[in-house]
Amino acid sequence: MIIFAAVIAIFVYGMTGSMLGTILPELSKRFDLTPRQNGTIALAQALGLMLASLSVGPLLDNLGDKPGLILGLALMTAALLALPRVRGFHGIVCLLFLLGSGGGIVTTGADALASVSSLVHRATVLNLVNMGFGLGALATPFLAANLLRRNWVRLCYLIVALTVVALAVQAATRMPPVAPAGGFLTQAEPAMASPLLWLLSLFMFLYIGCEVGVWNWLVRHLIAQGVPENSALNILSLGFALGLLSGRIGVVPVLAHAAPAKVTLGASICIVIATLLMLRARGKWTAAALVFASGLSMAPVFPTTLAIVGGAFPRITGTAMGIVITFGWAGLAVSSRVIGSIAGGDPARLRKALLVIPASAALMVGLNLAMLAVMK
């Protein structure tokens, strides 16, 4: 039941994680938003994710995962209920900040809960639990394109209903008790003295920038290349999201024989190659195949990195994960802002701006090698 609670929480977060990229074309048309404003909206969501992930760690370590998960899901519900009634750019920014805050709490709480559920097979469990993210992220653009006819209002209300179900599951699940361990500084001090924490944090900073760069900008990039909007949404769901889902299943036997840090190194190299090819693709079928390959490459990075965190900092898992995940959301904020600024008001420049993704992945390779050196 604990694993199920973590999976369903990650699932609804996955639905909101791919939501911005799914609804952004419609929001842009309705409110006449520029790529720069799109970047600001993504930045607001990232700031909410950052602040929530950093602040929720002590709550999880001192009071347990249930209060955090319930709080995060409640904030997500409130934001999604209000979004269909939004009247302009500034309202969207505020609600995406609130949605990000809820999502930051949920992803940190769910991953911390999964991390303590199996200490021996932590990396495997975290990859399997984060399959929920892949399913949720796949569902949002797929439902929007094929069942909801790109009606983003109905999409919001559908995700609200599923979020309420997830909230009820958290409330009903009996979770492991946690002994209070003092204040934030007391808990965080041992982790902050470790070079490994900062290497993991910078690594996550770059990785989240890569992944969310695809979620938020791929549909607009494909449309600019002449791909119809419905096809672009299906490529995002059946390509990228399915790649993430498949990769997290496929990496399980690999983790039985390879150290987590070596898995993330191999994945980082593959991300560089796959995303460079993805951005050069012209036809929709070629694009779909390379988007799938990009998702497959990225799949194990987030959960396997968190497994390294959980193994390195077992007594303050929530706080350490909160710090690393916060750096990840900072990567979302920076990459989205950089991509939006480079693209400016011209969608045709978006492909050049998206070269930020393979460049970030190349830096990940160097950081991963440093992590392996520190862990010896």
Encode pLDDT of 58-95 as tens digits: 777 777 788 889 999 999 999 999 998 888 899 999 99
For 222-241, letters b (16+ CB in 10 Å) and e give bbbbebeeebbbbbbbbbbb
The structure tokens 């190194």 sit at 265
The pLDDT tens digits of the residues spanning 264-319 come to 999 999 999 999 999 988 778 888 999 999 999 999 999 999 989 988 887 777 77
The structure tokens 């965080």 sit at 188
Whether residue 325 is predicted with pLDDT greater than 70 in this model: the reply is yes
- Domain ranges in the chain are 2-375
Exposure of 109 by Cβ count < 10 A (0-12 exposed, 13-18 middle, 19+ buried)?
A: buried
The predicted pLDDT at position 178 comes to: 65
The pLDDT tens digits of the residues spanning 111-162 come to 888 877 766 678 888 888 888 887 887 788 788 877 887 788 888 999 999 9
Look at the chain and count its residues: 376
- pLDDT greater at residue 199 or residue 282: 199
CA 14, 15, 16, 18 torsion-angle sign: positive
The predicted pLDDT at position 106 comes to: 93
The CATH number of 2-375 is 1.20.1250.20
In angstroms, the CA 66 to CA 54 distance is 17
